[in-house]
Homo-oligomer: A and B are copies of this chain.
Amino acid sequence: MESAMQGPTQTPTRSAAYTPTDRTVPTRSADRAAYDKDLVHAILDEAYVCHLGFVRDGAPVVLPTLYARVGERLYVHGSTGSRPLREAGQADPGLPVCLTVTHVDGLVLARSAFHHSINYRSVVVHGVAHDVTDPEEKRQALDALVDHVVPGRSADSRPANKKELAATAVIRLDLDEVSAKLRTGGANDEPEDLALPHWAGVVPLRKGYDAPVANPDLAPGTELPDYLRAR
């Protein structure tokens, strides 16, 4: 079976780009890597959950978590009692992390087992996460985290109070050592396999939303907001 790291490549339009480093140039399929900032931002902004990796007692830990992008910074939040956030706050000069975001766009069926694959778009960010201590930056980051889930929503909810702010830790990761990787297009079989009778192509994954489900305890007369009707 073809590795998800093999197959046709799409070269994005060039805009400002991140500088490749040893860690962001893959050993395999380097032609599939991209450093274009607009492309990286678009992949990051479309997903809801990232996978945050860090090292604890010498072993890797990978946890799913919410995040948001503000310009060239990513923010991750959680309870002040959660281990990675506590460790980022305690570590000096910060906690080394790898933050990865992946979209699965389609299943690629080839005539050969080897060339089966997945169409995907991913971003990998290497860096050091720092505890956000500035109150104004922390407040903006928390708004961004709500707005990342539903754009505009932070203005239509009760802001965090002092107790909630104190219970929430926010860490920042700068977009500096960053790469995107993507596979698009159909199956990429060997020439001698093209005449085989097996169907080949792509099954796209459908992305979308089902109708919103209101909490049963809504205040009387509360209407579904327009920003949710549009979905």
| Closest residue on chain B to residue A60 by CB atoms | B53
Interface size of A by CB at 8 A reads 104
Cα A65 to Cα B109 in complex, Å, equals: 16
A17: CB under 8 A from chain B? no
- Chain A residues numbered 84-125 whose CB sits less than 8 Å from any CB in chain B: 96-100, 102, 104, 107, 109-114, 116-118, 120, 122, 124
Q: Is A16 an interface residue (CB 8 A)?
A: no
Min C-beta distance of A19 to chain B, whole Å: 18
Pick the contact of A96: B59, B98, B211, B215 (CB < 8 A). Answer: B59
- Chain A 166-187 residues near chain B, CB threshold 8 A: 168, 186-187
A37 within 8 A of B: no
> Are A118 and B4 touching (Cβ within 8 A)?
no
Give bound CA distance, A131 to B195, whole Å.
34
Within 8 A of B (CB), among A2-20: 3-6
User: Which residues of A are in contact with B by a Cβ distance under 8 Å?
Assistant: 1, 3-6, 23, 26-28, 48-49, 51-55, 58-66, 77-79, 81-83, 96-100, 102, 104, 107, 109-114, 116-118, 120, 122, 124, 126, 142-143, 145-146, 149-150, 153-154, 156-161, 164, 168, 186-187, 193-219, 221-225, 228, 231
CA distance A208 to B207 in the complex (A): 7
B209 and A205 within 8 A (CB): yes
Partner of A202, one of B111, B112, B202, B213: B213
Q: Is the CB of A27 within 8 A of B113?
A: no
Among residues of B, the one whose C-beta sits closest to the C-beta of A97 is B60
B78 contacts A5, C-beta separation under 8 Å: yes
